[in-house]
Amino acid sequence: MGEPLKMMTPGDREILIERRFDAPREFVWRALVEPSLVRRWLLGPPGWSMPMCEIDLRVGGKMRFEWAHDDGRSMGLTSVIREIAPNERLVATEMFDEDWTGGETLVTQSLHDADGGTTLRTRILYASQAARDGAKMSGMTDGMEAGYRHLDGLLAELAA
């Protein structure tokens, strides 16, 4: 099951995702910056893997992620690291090869102590409001089943 995920849209161009993990900040940090760990979770629905994961962990360094699906689809992402504060904060500009996101996004991942665990806060800042609203999250979610379509669910989501 896992802990609940909180999604918010605090500004026109951004999305904020919050999730608590039952692990110390150092471990969550490692899972964000060590390629052998990143490639195990930063995936999509079943069928996707990450054959290429390179992280040059320094300011100005590049991260390169390449995903592949069993059915032959693939996608790639290049990031440039803007800020590193180990166990606290990682800031990078991201650009998908296919530019799903309508321009570069600025992604800030910050770690916060939370009840003996860690809250990971991911803030994605899009190039524009239209880019955020129009962005396909990635080609990965094509064909993902929409499990429910309830008005109350949506309204609660937006009110969160």
**Cα–Cα distance for residue pair 151/6, rounded to 1 Å:** 18
Nearer to other proteins by Cβ, of 59 and 137: the residue is: 137
160 binds other proteins (CB under 8 A): no
Nearer to other proteins by Cβ, of 10 and 60: the residue is: 10
Binding residue for other proteins, selected from 14, 27, 78, 127, defined by CB under 8 A: 27
Binding span for other proteins by CB under 8 A among 7-15, 64-72, 89-97, 105-113? 7-15
Nearer to other proteins by Cβ, of 36 and 60: the residue is: 36
Q: What is the DSSP letter of 39?
A: H
Burial environment of residue 97 by CB neighbours within 10 A (0 to 12, 13 to 18, 19 or more): exposed
49 binds other proteins (CB under 8 A): no
Give the 3-state secondary structure percentages of the chain, helix then strand then coil, rounded to 5: 20, 40, 35
85 binds other proteins (CB under 8 A): no
Nearer to other proteins by Cβ, of 12 and 59: the residue is: 12
Task: Map tokens 């900040």 to a residue.
Answer: 25
Binding residue for other proteins, selected from 47, 52, 99, 129, defined by CB under 8 A: 129
Nearest to 126 by CA among 146, 154, 96, 156: 96
Binding residue for other proteins, selected from 14, 16, 30, 121, defined by CB under 8 A: 30
Q: Beta strands of the chain (E only): which ranges?
A: 5-8, 14-21, 48-55, 62-69, 74-85, 89-96, 105-114, 117-125
Q: Which residues bind other proteins (CB under 8 A)?
A: 2-3, 5, 7, 9, 15, 17, 19, 21-23, 27-28, 30-31, 37, 40-45, 129-130, 133-134, 136-138, 140-141, 144, 146-149, 151-155, 157-159
